[in-house]
Amino acid sequence: MPEDIEIRLLLDAIYLRYHYDFRSYSAASIKRRLNAAKLQMNAETLSALQEKILRDPQVFTRLLQFLTVGVSDMFRDPSFFRVFREQVVPELRTYPSIRVWIAGCSTGEELYSFAILLREEGLLERTTLYATDINPEALRKAEQGLYPIERLQAFTENHQLSGSKCSLSEYYTAAYGSAAFDRSLRKNVVFSDHSLATDSVFAEVQLVSCRNVLIYFDRSLQDRALGLMKDSLCRRGFLGLGSKESLMFSEHASAFRDFVASERWFQRC
């Protein structure tokens, strides 16, 4: 199929020109995303899009928004956060200082979910959170912590279902159609550009949360990413994945044991 060839060439071009490596992304998703980008960016073909991208970094910046558009809610899958609160937190409490890595934090919904739960459990003050992503625009939004007010109803429901005794409204102020999350939540957050495809381990942590990021990778890249997480985690450290992600097909499966497998919590052996 000519289109499949165009996709390969375009991803090669992006890698050679901008050092972003999408070559081992899930082909089905990347194809959808590139076709959406092609339409919205008024390119006749992917080859035409490639030509623009090679010559104009701003066009690439636009394309990057299409290639990394995963959308998450705060406290997505509330039962995952309930397990964190009830079963992971008691173990984290035993560490004098805690380091948490939110890998692929996108626009920050997951990050604020963890920061809020850690505050509620009295651990945020002694926790450093590393929030990493490959998309600078998404990182900037994560750092702002501003979300459209329409999204807060779903966030609030999820927050309640995660087992919180407080109201989510204690953590944000609403103004001009947006909810601005309390800056004290990100006092101990380090926002950083980091690629699971091309970068290496940068810290030892007790917890990695990487949810609905691996679904966009093929198996070889999943293994690379899981290898980084494995090497970042201390012994008995925790790994949280998305509800459809598992270690079943990974070469690193034996480095982890199930913690609460039904909620995709694993523990480093």
Partner 1 sequence: MLSPSLHEQLSSCEAMVMGASAGAVEALNQLLPAVPQDARIPLVVVVHLPANRPSLLPEVFAPRCQAKVLEPDDKQPMTAGNIWFAPSNYHLLIEADRSFAFSTDLPVNFSRPSLDVTFESAADVFGERLCCIVLTGANNDGARGARAVRQNGGLVIVQDPTSADSRQMPEAAISSANPQIIAPLPEIKELIRLATRAA
- Binding residues vs partner 1 (CB under 8 A): 26-29, 31-33, 69-73, 76, 78, 154, 157-158, 161, 212, 214-216, 219, 222, 242-246, 248-249
Closer residue to partner 1 (CB): 205 or 260: 260
- Give, rounded to a whole angstrom, the gap between the first and last alpha carbons of the chain: 45
Look-up of token digits 């990695």: 208
Cα–Cα distance measured from residue 257 to residue 211, given in angstroms and rounded to the nearest whole number = 18
- C-alpha–C-alpha distance, residues 223 and 218, integer Å: 9
Shortest distance, CB of residue 246 to partner 1, whole angstroms?
Answer: 5
Give whichever of 73 and 251 is closer to partner 1, judged by the CB atom: 73
Q: Which is nearer to partner 1, 72 or 206 (CB)?
A: 72
Q: How far is the CB of 163 from partner 1 (least distance, A)?
A: 15
Q: Give the Cα separation of 241 and 158 in Å (integer).
A: 18
Q: Which residues, 6+ apart, have CB-to-CB distance to 141 below 8 Å?
A: 107, 108
Choice between 183 and 219, CB closer to partner 1: 219
259: amino acid identity, one letter: F
C-beta of 88: minimal distance to partner 1 in Å? 20
Q: How near is the Cβ of 29 to partner 1 at its closest, in Å?
A: 5
Q: How many angstroms from the chain centroid is the CA of residue 268? A: 20
Q: How far is the CB of 207 from partner 1 (least distance, A)?
A: 21
Report the alpha-carbon distance of residue 189 to residue 139 in Å, rounded: 12
Smaller CB distance to partner 1: residue 33 or 186?
Answer: 33
Considering the complex, state which of residue 154 and residue 234 has its C-beta at the smaller distance from partner 1. 154
Q: Show the tokens assigned to 254.
A: 């034996």
In the complex, least distance from residue 91 CB atom to partner 1, rounded to whole angstroms: 26
Instruction: Please give the C-alpha separations between residue 119 and each of 25, 168, 209, in angstroms, as whole numbers.
Output: 35, 12, 17
Strands 189-193 and 233-241: unpaired
